[in-house]
Amino acid sequence: MHPAIQVCVRHEGAVVVDRAVGHARGDLPGRRFDRERAVPLTVDTLVNLFSAAEAVTAMLIHKLEEQAVLDLDDPVAEHIRGFERHGKAGITIRHVLTHRAAIAPMPAEAFDPDVLADHDEVEEIVRDLRPWADPDRDIVVAPLTTGKPVIGSHLPALVRLMGSIYEVFPE
């Protein structure tokens, strides 16, 4: 973890505060600060929210269900082409949201900031994951896929599904 914070405040649709302070990389607590290795955080720097992203993703998925764009019992493959690869055709959105998808963890290289910024590459990594068990029969909580990399590793895919974020959250 690197000491940093990003803040964006909107009021009536307009950005009134958009700031970033700290370092994205190269400034670890407890280590001597190395100015040459430190990479400043900007408002455009990707930040891994870990499990905090799950609540946002679940809310967006439920908004999509409310608008009849999807159903929780839809196979994920109906919304992410190729997801059925390696025997995942029966995994539903509900399985993912309830931590029952039983999918192997994301590989370490998937957490590289450059990879995370490439939504198509993240989707391809998700397509290539393999199931560990039967989600209807077994309870398997796999680290790093218990969250929502399957559906919500990135908001652009959800926004494509929704058409526009502003249609989901009108002013």
CA proximity to 107, closest of 69, 80, 142, 74 = 142
CA angle 18, 19, 24 (to 5 degrees): 130
Q: 55 and 46 in contact (C-beta within 8 Å)?
A: no
CA angle 80, 158, 112 (to 5 degrees): 80
Helix or strand (DSSP H, E) at 7:
strand 4-11
Characterize 129-146 residue by residue with b for buried, 16 or more Cβ atoms within 10 angstroms of its Cβ, and e for exposed. Answer: bebeeebeeeebebeebb
CA-CA distance, 118 to 112, in Å (whole number)?
A: 10
CA-CA distance, 41 to 32, in Å (whole number)?
A: 18
Task: Enumerate the active-site residues.
Answer: 51
